Amino acid sequence: MAAMAIRDILIIPDKRLRLKSEPVKTVDKALRALVEDMFETMYAAPGIGLAAIQIGVPQRVVTMDLAKKDDPPEPQVFINPEITWASADKSSYDEGCLSIPEYYEEVARPKAVKVKYLGLDGKEHELEADGLLATCLQHEIDHINGVLFIDHISKLKRDMVMKKFKKAAKRGDEVHVAPKDDTPEHHIG
């Protein structure tokens, strides 16, 4: 057994976050090792969702755990996830992203979605989601397509955020992924 590892999370304006990730061909040992690292990294951040590209791996893999803070963990893995249906009804959620630390904005998305994906068992599954799960799935599936939640807000706000992070990157500022007193629920991933 290889030891699990916490990986560095890419922060904007890192260009890799704009890559379209490649489909996973086989659910093998290497993929399971990647998933372990993703969970380690996501729980440490802390976040409730993570796409492989956020640790620099351009593969269509998403990890998630929406369990409440003091409840037992509920790890979920979505390989090659694909939205097959989205409701016309929208809902808004104050989203955040581990790749855009300490920035939150209301994003309106379809309230419910159906998602087809492979599980760690290598088999195809489909689920219908609403609420936080629907929001989180759409946020993470955006990531594997090179899309960020700030792409769904006004251009004015997006430009301001990008400018702030570009400046910080230039100065070489240390960017804190999550302040200690923040709840993981606030960080979609």
Give me the active site residues, please: 140
Q: How far is the CB of 142 from Zn ion (least distance, A)?
A: 8
Nearer to Zn ion (CB atom), residue 184 or residue 189: 189
Assess 64 for contact with Zn ion (CB under 5 A): no
Phi, psi (5° rounding) for residue 170? -65, -40
Assess 62 for contact with Zn ion (CB under 5 A): no
Assess 136 for contact with Zn ion (CB under 5 A): no
Assess 53 for contact with Zn ion (CB under 5 A): no
Nearer to Zn ion (CB atom), residue 52 or residue 97: 97
| Torsion sign across C-alpha atoms 91, 93, 97, 103 | positive
Nearer to Zn ion (CB atom), residue 101 or residue 189: 189
Q: How far is the CB of 8 from Zn ion (least distance, A)?
A: 15
Assess 178 for contact with Zn ion (CB under 5 A): no
Distance CA 168, CA 89 (A): 38
Nearer to Zn ion (CB atom), residue 28 or residue 183: 183
Q: What DSSP assignment string belongs to the chain?
A: -PPP-PPPPP-TT-GGGGSPPBPP----HHHHHHHHHHHHHHHHTT-SEEEGGGGT--BSEEEE----TTSPP--EEEEEEEEEEE-S-EEEEEEEETTEEEEEEEEEEESEEEEEEE-TTS-EEEEEEEHHHHHHHHHHHHHHTT--GGGGS-HHHHHHHHHHHHHHHHHTPPPPSS-TTS-GGG---
Q: How far is the CB of 29 from Zn ion (least distance, A)?
A: 27
**What track of x and - describes contact with Zn ion for positions 82 through 121 (by CB under 5 A)?**
---------------x------------------------
* Residues in binding contact with Zn ion, number by CB under 5 A: 2
Q: How far is the CB of 95 from Zn ion (least distance, A)?
A: 8
Assess 9 for contact with Zn ion (CB under 5 A): no
Site of interaction with Zn ion (CB under 5 A): 97, 189
